[in-house]
Amino acid sequence: MPHDPLDTVIGVPETSKRDTATSSKHYAAGLKLESTGERLAAMDEYRRAVAADHMNSDALFKVAYHLDLLGEEDEALAMYERCIQQGPPRVNALMNLAVMYEDRGDFGAAERCLRQILDTRPNHLRARLFMKDVQASREMVVVEEQDRDIFKRKAMLDTPVTDFELSVRARTCLKKMNIRTLGDLLRITEAELMSYKNFGDSSMQEIKKMLAAKGMRLGQGLEDAHRAARKALMEQYKGTGKEAIFAKPISELNLSVRARKAVQLLNCQTLGDLASHTEAELMGIKNFGATSLKEVKEKLTEFGLALRTLEA
């Protein structure tokens, strides 16, 4: 059975013998047929041109272009990719390839194609406009993914603790402490749980094991809230020159012994850590009273800071 040169168009080895004269003849024939509207016949000639010379970028582009028009996207994509590998990449091939990548949601590849154009032709209007569209689409996808992650996390934190495999004693204790959801549980510390009447070590180990299986731990919710609060404070004071103050150690406040011990229980290392807490959190510490609270607030004021306040 005779070999059809059209069968070798896709995936031609780089070591294939090149017949540039034959390739040019078929390419010219393809242009002539295309000019008279005979696109399918022209396509056959372009394919033969590529089969004769796999490095004929003009023929590669024509094959890719017509495959794209016919809806043969996978083959068109492969041909465009081969086309841009031959010498200096053709601008029209890079543009069409960028469009195909963008349609497939591969924004990184689309951006790379456009970058190749703009590196040599920075004022190429279409490439510049399309680059903005691609980058906007890419950012939109990231935001959508973040929104989905937030929704999934919120749904998980709203899961009732009764849905987890815990003993009757552990469930009863959590219920009496008004801990209804996983989110409630993550906002309480190990010390707070152990301070509750009838809550023993076996229940503690049971809960810690359950949380560990989910990659979580007691007090994690508070830590997340404080990290978010610190980040918000940094944004609030950004550009004011106060950013460096957040990193100052707690020792610079020169607190009294009682106030200093209370702050240590909150694991505050810096002024930023302390400013991310609320008055209620400080007042919830054993032996921390109104006098100590007043002292902490006055000391923070000296550095232009204040305790975090909850939004109404």
Q: What's the pLDDT tens digit per position in 112-156?
A: 888 888 888 888 888 888 888 877 777 665 555 555 554 556 666
Q: Which homologous superfamily is 5-128 in?
A: Tetratricopeptide repeat domain (1.25.40.10)
CATH of 221-302, picked from 3.30.200.20, 3.40.50.1980, 1.10.260.40, 1.10.150.20, is 1.10.150.20
Scanning the chain, the segments in alpha helix (DSSP H) are 20-35, 39-52, 57-69, 73-83, 91-103, 107-120, 125-157, 168-176, 182-186, 190-194, 201-213, 220-236, 243-246, 257-265, 271-275, 279-283, 290-302
- What's the CATH architecture for 161-218? Orthogonal Bundle (1.10)
Residues carrying CATH 1.25.40.10, the chain: 5-128
Query: Contact at 8 Å (CB) between 262 and 292?
Result: yes
Contact 238, 232 (CB under 8 A): no
Cα separation of 72 and 67, whole Å? 5
Contact 158, 181 (CB under 8 A): yes
Q: Is 100 helix (H, G, I), strand (E, B) or coil?
A: helix
CA distance 130 to 91: 13
306 Rama class: left (phi>0) / alpha (psi -120 to 50) / beta: beta
> CATH 1.10.150.20: which residues of the chain?
161-218, 221-302
Burial 276-303 (b: 16+ CB within 10 A, else e): bbebebbeebeebeeebbebbeebbeee
DSSP SS3 for 181: strand
* pLDDT score, position 7: 37
3-state secondary structure of 290: helix
pLDDT tens per residue across all 312 residues of the chain: 333 333 334 444 444 588 899 999 999 998 999 888 888 898 899 999 999 988 888 899 889 888 888 888 888 888 888 888 887 888 888 888 888 888 888 888 888 888 888 888 888 888 888 888 877 777 665 555 555 554 556 666 778 877 777 888 888 888 887 888 887 777 777 766 776 777 778 888 888 888 888 777 777 766 666 666 667 666 766 666 666 777 788 888 888 888 888 777 777 788 888 887 778 777 777 777 888 889 989 988 888 888 877 543
Entry field: residues in the chain: 312
Who contacts 279 (Cβ-Cβ below 8 Å, separation ≥6)? 293, 297, 307
pTM score, whole prediction = 0.41
